[in-house]
Amino acid sequence: MKIVTIVGARPQFIKAAPVSRALREAGHTEFLVHTGQHYDENMSQVFFEELNIPTADYNLSVCNLAHGAMTGRMLEKIEDVLLEIRPDCVLVYGDTNSTLAGALAAKKLYLKLAHVEAGLRSFNMEMPEEQNRVVADRLSDLLFCPTETAVSNLKKEGIANSPYGETVINVGDVMYDALLFYSDIAEKRASILDRLQIERGQYVLSTIHRAENTDVPARLDSIMLALREIANEIAVILPLHPRTMKILLESTQSVRGIKIIDPVSYLEMILLEKKCQAIITDSGGLQKEAYFFHKPCITVRDETEWIELVDAGVNCVVGGDKNNIVEAFKNLQSETLDFSQKFYGNGKAGEKIVEVLVHHEPPGETNRKLHCKGGG
C-alpha cells in the first residue's frame, strides 16, 4: 500500500510515530507530509529526530498565518502532493488545521481518508479544534477511535458501522503506544531534571497554550496568579510556546516564582511528566499522559474531550478562575485516586490501525477515479 501521512503540529508527530513504525515494519510505503504548522525547531524537527521518524518527504512550510489563510494554503499544497503520489489512503491525525486541510484535500480527490483519534468532542464549537475534528470525522472513510466514549459520540451523530463492514473502530490510543515505547528511552537519555536542578515529586508541571486562555488577558492573568500561589508551596515548571511567551511578556501580570522554560523535547517532556507531583494544563494530550503516569491533573479549560478521566475523579476541569485552580490543587493532594482502569487500550493501537487499513475496502472503491480537475 501507498499511504500519505499528514502532520504539522507537535501532538501529531507523537501520534504518527507508532503508526509509521507499524506501516514500515509491515512493508508498506509511507509518504510523510509535514505542513509546517509548527515552525519552531524545538516544536518540530526535534520530534522527528527523537522519535526516529524518517525525515518528511514533503515539507510545505505553511505557518504563521491566520486560520483561514493557513488552512487554504495547506489545502492547495496538499492537493498537489496527493495528485503526484496518488496514494491508496490518506492518514490525518487529531484536530489541527493540518488535519482539516488534509481531510478536505483527500476527499475532493476521492481518496480513501482515515482519521486517527476520531470521535473526540468537547461540544464547544467555538474551539477551532472542535470544528476541525467534526469536519474530519464527517469526511472520513475510516474512523479510528481512542476510546468507547469516542465511538459513542460518533454514533449519536449518526456515524456508525455500515452494512458493508466496520468503519468506526476503537483501536485504543496511539499516544499510549508512544508513551510505552519511549518511556524507558526517556529515562536513559533525558537529563532535564539535572539541568533544572529539581527532584522527583518536588514540582508541578504546567502547560498553557490554548487560545481560550492565552488570548484573553484577564483569564491568562488569573491562571498565572494561581500558578504563582501554588509556587509558594511547590516548584511550578512551565514550558512555554514562543507565542505564549510573547503574550506574557506583553502582559502586566507578573510570573515571579514560576520557573518558565523553553519548549522541551518529547523525551524531556515524558520525564517531566513521569517525575512530577501533579499536572496543570490546557492540553488534551497531556491530560491523558497524566493518567498514563498516574498523576492527578487539573485542566484549565471549561470542558474536556476526555470525560472518562473526569468521571474517574483523576482529572478536575476548573476553567481559568484562580481560586478554583488553587482549590482543586489542594483537594487533589489530599485524595486517594484510582488509575487502574484501562480506558485507552493495550498499547497496540498502531498495529491495529495498519491491520484495518490493509483489509478495508469500502463499497465502490475499485470503481473510483482520481479527479484531477473540475467537479464541485
Pick the catalytic residue: 34, 67, 115, 209? 209
pTM exceeding 0.75: yes
Tell me the pLDDT tens digit for each residue of 189-239.
889 999 999 999 999 999 998 889 998 989 999 999 999 999 999 999 999
Check residue 366 and give its pLDDT.
42
β-sheet with 58-59: strand ranges across? 58-59, 29-34, 2-7, 89-93, 113-116, 142-145, 168-170
Which residues, given as ranges, of the chain have pLDDT below 50? 43, 363-372
Check residue 244 and give its pLDDT.
81
Check residue 364 and give its pLDDT.
47
Check residue 55 and give its pLDDT.
82
The residues, any chain, with a CB within 8 Å of residue 269's CB and separated by 6 or more, are 239
Check residue 52 and give its pLDDT.
75
Check residue 362 and give its pLDDT.
58
Check residue 307 and give its pLDDT.
93
Residue 371 bears catalytic tag: no
Residue with grid cell 463499497, as numbered in its chain: 363
Domains of the chain: 2-173+345-367 (3.40.50.2000), 181-334 (3.40.50.2000)
Report which of 74, 53, 85 is spatially closest to residue 182, judged by C-alpha positions.
53
How far apart, in whole angstroms, are the C-alpha atoms of residue 339 and residue 42? 31
Check residue 40 and give its pLDDT.
55
Check residue 43 and give its pLDDT.
47
Neighbours of 114 (CB within 10 A): 26
